[in-house]
Chains A and B, each alone.
Chain A
Amino acid sequence: MSEWWTYRPSDFLLFSPRTYYRLFELYNADIWPLQIVTLLTGAAILVLVRSRKSCSGRVIAAMLAACWLWVAWAFHWQRYSTINWAASYFAVGFAIQALLLIWVGGVRDRFQFDSLKSARERIGIVIFVFALLVQPLAGLLVRRQWTQVEVFGVTPDPTVVATLGLLLAVSRVNWPAFVVPVLWCVLGGATLYVMGAADGFRQAILSALLR
């Protein structure tokens, strides 16, 4: 396809908002009660961050990587790809991020949360808590049904935002680990924006802040 400059973002939107939100509704019904497990995983990550044990970083990295792999396979590869042919590429991107998290946090043990006193570290934790507890509810504020909520660990947006929060909260920031999440924020925000979704502001604001 040539003349890319003549295309607008909306030209790449393949589905209606109704179809997109129904995707989450059907997915949530299919995987229930996994959402409870991933929310508890998120809570466990918070506990591990505060515990500062020597193995905490590695366990957090493994948990996060598992969430990214699950989203890559169960959401992007199996479901989202049915309405968006680009989702198979998203699945690969998410799998790469999972491997990167294992490398950075597991192999190199760089997920250390020593002080949590700097503004950056604290903002990171606030973002993580936002993704875990507030982001799923944000959809309800813009009249999405509760059956269509996006939950950390099983859907892309809150998983990405939570990961960005943790990456900000670690003592030594690993910038390469930001690449995929920030790209997803831009992409996910653009998708919601061209759909005219009222909750598109989340990803757009986050990606703008992190640039």
Chain B
Amino acid sequence: MTASRRTLLLSLAAQAASPLLISLSASAQPGPMLTRPIPSSGEALPVIGLGSWITFNVGNDRVARDNSAEVMRNFFAAGGRVIDSSPMYGSSQEAIGYGLNKLNKAPQPSVFAADKVWISSGARGPAQMETSRQHWNVPRFDLLQVHNLLAWQEHLPTLFAMKAAGGVRYVGITTSEGRRHREFEQIMASQPLDFVQVTYNVLDREVEQRILPLARERRIGVIVNRPFRQGDLIRSMARHALPAWATEIDCVNWAQFLLKFTVSHTAVTCAIPATSNVTHLRQNMGAAYGRLPDEAMRRRMIAYVERL
């Protein structure tokens, strides 16, 4: 379970020695990278992003921060753009800023910087967002979301004012694991949101009933968190063989199977699986290429996973 400094260094050395493999694995994917337009603007985003919950919270550990930067390097190399974090995620924002600085990505437009405001005081929201921006070291965030609806009545007016002034490009709200969906829907119906963030995967499909249709109706982008149930789905699926018919949607591993299910819903803009493992990152990014399941295939995927 525990990786030593030596193990981490060896891992980094191995990763540094394989840039050719990385580019080959990305370019060997069938067809162009899958993107979805942000409904409110039409801007295209890759369907696979990068979350940072737990995985990027590494404190001041220089070796682990370098590992995070390596994950980000592979993410960008594979065409990724959306990185999501929150002030709730410990040192994740600092690790992202460290990675962006190391990769010289900060001034470039390739990263779509998505963060959150997570504080019960509306008055202290702007200061928290500014601190977050400094941690990322980006000129401004692309997307700011009210984390878990905390004090949303106070934060949303601030965010909309920031958007009007050019301080942020998009505004959203988040929830996870099915919490407060009724209130979530009310906000979606009444506020001019650009994005919502919800939990959605092959087993947690409650959002299909009301939230995803409402997002489509209101032209709100959808970012999906916990596509692997924080790794639990991957761990439980790993005990079983990937069905042979997964090749029909260009899946070669369970990560791609699960992610393609999530992003194939037409209301979904992108999913943001989190990882600190470069191999897993590459597997995840593979889901942004090739064919996506149609409705019949999606039903087949659900039936297969529910039987396991």
State the A residues within 8 Å of B (CB): 1-3, 6, 10-11, 13-19, 21-23, 25-26, 79, 82-85, 143-145, 147-148, 196
Contacts and interface: CB of A to CB of B under 8 A. Distances in A.
B158 interface: no
Given A15-B90, A18-B1, A85-B90, A1 B59 contact: no
A97 to B, nearest CB: 24
A17 B1 CA distance: 7
B67 to A, nearest CB: 10
B1 A19 contact: no
Interface of B: 1-5, 54-55, 57-61, 63-64, 88-91, 148, 150, 177, 179-180, 230, 276
Contacts, number: 70
A22 B90 contact: no
Given A3-B179, A22-B64, A15 B2 contact: no
Given A22-B64, A143-B2, A82 B59 contact: yes
A26 B54 contact: no
B180 A3 contact: yes
B54 A14 contact: yes
18 contacts: A1-B150, A3-B179, A10-B230, A14-B89, A15-B59, A15-B90, A16-B54, A16-B57, A16-B276, A17-B1, A19-B57, A22-B58, A22-B61, A22-B63, A82-B59, A83-B91, A84-B90, A145-B2
Chain B interface mostly: loop
Given A3-B180, A83-B91, A19 B150 contact: no
A21 B2 contact: yes
A83 B57 contact: yes
Contacts of B1: 17-18, 143, 196
B54 A13 contact: yes
A197 B73 CA distance: 31
Nearest to A29: B5
A143 B179 CA distance: 37
A15 B88 CA distance: 11
A192 B221 CA distance: 37
Contacts of A148: 2
Contacts of B88: 14, 85
A149 to B, nearest CB: 12
A16 B55 contact: yes
Contact of B90 (A11, A25, A83, A196): A83
Given A16-B276, A19-B64, A22-B64, A144 B90 contact: no
A85 B89 CA distance: 9
Contacts of A2: 180
Nearest to B62: A26
A83 B179 contact: no
Given A2-B180, A145-B4, 16 more contacts: A6-B177, A11-B177, A14-B54, A15-B54, A17-B2, A19-B58, A26-B60, A82-B59, A82-B60, A83-B57, A83-B58, A83-B59, A83-B91, A85-B88, A147-B4, A148-B2
Contacts of A26: 60-61
Contacts of A147: 4
A148 B90 CA distance: 21
B180 A15 contact: no
B61 A144 contact: no
Contacts of B150: 1
Nearest to B148: A1
Nearest to A6: B179
A194 to B, nearest CB: 11
A107 to B, nearest CB: 37
A11 B178 CA distance: 13
